[in-house]
Amino acid sequence: MAPIEIPQKDRMPHHFQNFEETHLTLKENEGNLLFEEGWQKAKQIAILAKNYNTDQLSEVLEKLTSNTSLRSLYIHWTDHQFPKMLISFSKLQHLGIVNHALRALPTDIDHLRHLRTLRMATTSLLGLPASIGKLKKLRELYLMVHQMERLPKSFTKLTSLEYFGLLIKDLYIHKDWERNYHFPARWQHSPEELVTQLSLFPDLKRLFLGQSNNQQVPAHRTDPLPENFADLQALEELELETLHGLGGLKHVTEMPYLRKIWGDFYIAGDFLEWLQQTFPEGKLVKTNPELFYSGGYYEINASE
């Protein structure tokens, strides 16, 4: 089965900004989901049904089973259960999920054996099933997590990974001016442990790491990367959630293939100055910051 690719328009592939640009979009209208013309043969479909529960979504998916051309699916719904019907889409190559109530993935997720991309913004997800390691064709994995404590051991079996993104989020609930509730993320994996796992992926070329806690970032920060970070020798592109306050990243000088460092350079003057001094042949390339963190990248050796 020939793979289809979703163009990234010179961006890192995490988040979901490209889905509405590239997918036929089915949206809610007064409680009903409108099926746009051409849905029966569309290869890429986005379902924006954030007010739907899993039973309602399952009805939509059952209708979509008649589309045998479907290869890429983005779904936004709200419920703690995963729709069993989704596992029947065995030809899917790209799957994006936004559901901050979802608690678990099914153990038979490996039935989606053709998946090349899996992107999930699921802050209530408790963990990944061991069967995730059976997705041998997976090239891209992005996780936005809050409840999850660590990755399963089987994660290291995803040896075809070329991109990994991880955003660990604290949650804040503002009830009124006097009651603000802070729920720290439950993530237990140390940065060193994570890098040790990632170093087992020989083709890992792109990496996004972030920890969002809504607290003020200090004006001067130490290098957030662990001492073993340079073990990711194949890495070509790196993005951190924030570059504010950074004075440098010593390990990137030890990585021979690293060519782009992504981030919001509008608030990272010290770090940009360090890059310009450390890699004087590089240049800052600004892109269109549509979501979250990236406003561009520093190309380390622009003369090549």
Q: How far apart are CA 240 and CA 207, in angstroms?
A: 8
Domain residue limits, the chain: 1-215, 226-304
CATH, domain 1-215, list 3.40.50.1370, 3.80.10.10, 3.90.230.10, 3.30.300.30: 3.80.10.10
pLDDT of residue 232: 96
- Alpha-carbon distance of 95 to 117, in angstroms, equals 6
Mean pLDDT value across the chain: 87
Burial 27-60 (b: 16+ CB within 10 A, else e): eeeeeebeeeeebeebbbbbbbbeebebebbbeb
pLDDT digits (tens, 9 = 90+) for 16-73: 666 777 899 999 888 889 898 999 999 999 999 999 999 999 999 999 999 999 999 9
Instruction: Tell me what the mean pLDDT of segment 283-288 comes to.
Output: 81
From 49-63, 258-272, 285-299, the region with the lowest mean pLDDT: 285-299
pLDDT confidence of residue 10? 57
pTM, rounded to two decimals: 0.91
Burial of 153 per CB tally in 10 Å (0-12, 13-18, 19+):
exposed
d(CA 123, CA 169): 7
Cα separation, 119 vs 239, in Å, equals: 16
Inter-residue contact 232 to 207 (CB < 8 Å):
yes
* H-only helix segments in the chain: 19-22, 54-64, 191-198, 269-278
Q: What pLDDT is stored for residue 123 in this prediction?
A: 86
**Range with the poorest average pLDDT among 153-162, 186-195, 217-226:** 217-226
Least confident span in 81-90, 92-101, 199-208, 292-301: 292-301
Rounded Cα–Cα distance for residues 240 and 225 (Å)? 10
At residue 251, the 3 state secondary structure works out as helix
- Judge whether residue 200 has pLDDT over 80: yes
Q: Specify the pLDDT at position 223.
A: 72
- Rg of the chain (C-alpha set): 20
